Structure 1
């Protein structure tokens, strides 16, 4: 973590804050590093820290069932954070957070974030907007998992991961992707083979390469594009062909009215 609070952190949510507001948080950020497959927090555990993925690090929020199956509900990279974001923190986690792409992160005590929110309208506004966007992603994933065929769900997931990595080569195994989608590995292998025959992707050992993003976007369901539009409208996250480009600071507001209005976006 740079000593200068104005220096980029590698996390776009933190970097969207103006220097005086980020100075409320920067001294309390703890650099950490997680390997692929590491657990940031488990379902049912108390969440005492907010964790900010940096650079190409990616975390998935996972729901598991009693029979051992699981499914991904949200994918978070350098555009966001996990752990007590929607709540006020220090409450039991409803999901498990697993690292998909290992790398650097920054941790912040949940109480420190609450102090920063009390001291700055802009900090409150930014994190309220991000909470809205995270909820929108979770709700859209729930609809997608219930309504859309596995081929479209697979493309949606690959596009979401590419957004956060910013490159064409996705370091993902068949086993992990099958787990995220809640299907058997053998079934997923047939799906990936079909997508490869269509010229959309190239499947390799421990990686999947995106060959035609535009065609993948057309073949995928509307869920990926809807989440993109919501992030851009509410938070200012601009998605490009290379991934998530930036997060623009929201306009300053007076009092708490604007965050409350933003929160209505995902909650209906």
Structure 2
């Protein structure tokens, strides 16, 4: 404080663009951010999502401010943000703050690394259920506001594939799908379908952030 502020982000708000300097750091409260890699031909794939367990731009405050990814608001809600230069200045005077920044940034990188493996090794249905469960954990709700466009980017597939998989899961009673929303109706079934990456990401983040919170206590 006083540089830290709380604000509400609308869906699809662009927070960072590839190749441009990042001006503010974003720490989600109940919003979810989508970090997207954009290919030269315009194709997009989500490399990770960020909820209240981490933030975007943390490592930028310790190094180069240049963003190499596109970041948008996937699920609208509140975030805290702070000018990059303000956090960078504070970090230069506080080794403890640097340690906390790195720990929470590592929590995000754990997901990115696991997502890379997941995209290469696991099928689309498994990856969709993993993402739905992670989103539920962050929002604390079985009703997840999303669009087919976000799902297709997240999974790296066509919208028609998303529609087909969502229809299959709905027919099996795992989800109830309507325009712009998915309700998880059978958490146990979704957990059984989801790949091992869901548990691996949750455990990795808990270990990384939990260890730092324990030191803070």
User: Do they superpose with TM above 0.5?
Assistant: yes
Q: Secondary structure at the match of 2:62?
A: coil
Counting only pairs closer than 5 Å after superposition, residues 31-46 of structure 1 correspond to structure 2 as: 31-46=6-21
Q: Of 194, 201, 205, which aligns to 2:175?
A: 201
Count of paired positions: 217
**Offset from partner CA, 1:168-209 (integer Å, 9 cap, x none):** 000112222112211111111111111112221111121000
> What is aligned with 1:251?
215
> How much is the aligned-residue C-alpha RMSD, in angstroms?
2.0
The answer to whether the Cα contact below 8 Å between 1:133 and 1:235 also exists between their aligned partners in 2 is: yes
Q: Secondary structure at the match of 1:27?
A: coil
Structure 2 unpaired stretches of 5+: none
Q: Secondary structure at the match of 1:37?
A: coil
> What is aligned with 1:98?
72
Q: Of 191, 198, 206, which aligns to 2:165?
A: 191
Separation in 2, partners of 1:213, 1:122: 39
Q: Secondary structure at the match of 1:235?
A: helix
The answer to whether the Cα contact below 8 Å between 2:144 and 2:183 also exists between their aligned partners in 1 is: yes
Counting only pairs closer than 5 Å after superposition, residues 229-240 of structure 1 correspond to structure 2 as: 229-236=203-210
Q: Secondary structure at the match of 1:249?
A: helix
Separation in 2, partners of 1:157, 1:100: 12
Q: Secondary structure at the match of 1:99?
A: strand
With the length of structure 2 as denominator, give the TM-score of the two structures: 0.92
Q: Does 1:141 align with 2:115?
A: yes
The answer to whether the Cα contact below 8 Å between 1:173 and 1:207 also exists between their aligned partners in 2 is: yes
Structure 1 unpaired stretches of 5+: 1-25, 238-247, 253-268
1:84 Cα shift? 4.2
Q: Of 43, 62, 66, which aligns to 1:88?
A: 62
Q: Secondary structure at the match of 1:52?
A: strand
1:89 Cα shift? 4.7
1:128 Cα shift? 1.4
The answer to whether the Cα contact below 8 Å between 1:63 and 1:70 also exists between their aligned partners in 2 is: yes
**Offset from partner CA, 1:8-45 (integer Å, 9 cap, x none):** xxxxxxxxxxxxxxxxxx22113333210110010111
Q: Secondary structure at the match of 1:146?
A: helix
Change (3 A) 1:123 1:235: same
> What is aligned with 2:28?
53
The answer to whether the Cα contact below 8 Å between 2:25 and 2:58 also exists between their aligned partners in 1 is: yes
Change (3 A) 1:186 1:48: same
Separation in 1, partners of 2:24, 2:64: 8
Q: Secondary structure at the match of 1:72?
A: strand
> What is aligned with 1:266?
none
Query: Which one has a larger percent helix, Structure 1 or Structure 2?
Result: 2
Give the ranges of 4+ consecutive aligned residues of structure 1 lying more than 4 Å apart after TM superposition: none
**Offset from partner CA, 1:99-133 (integer Å, 9 cap, x none):** 01122222212222233333334322221111211
With the length of structure 1 as denominator, give the TM-score of the two structures: 0.75
Q: Secondary structure at the match of 1:250?
A: helix
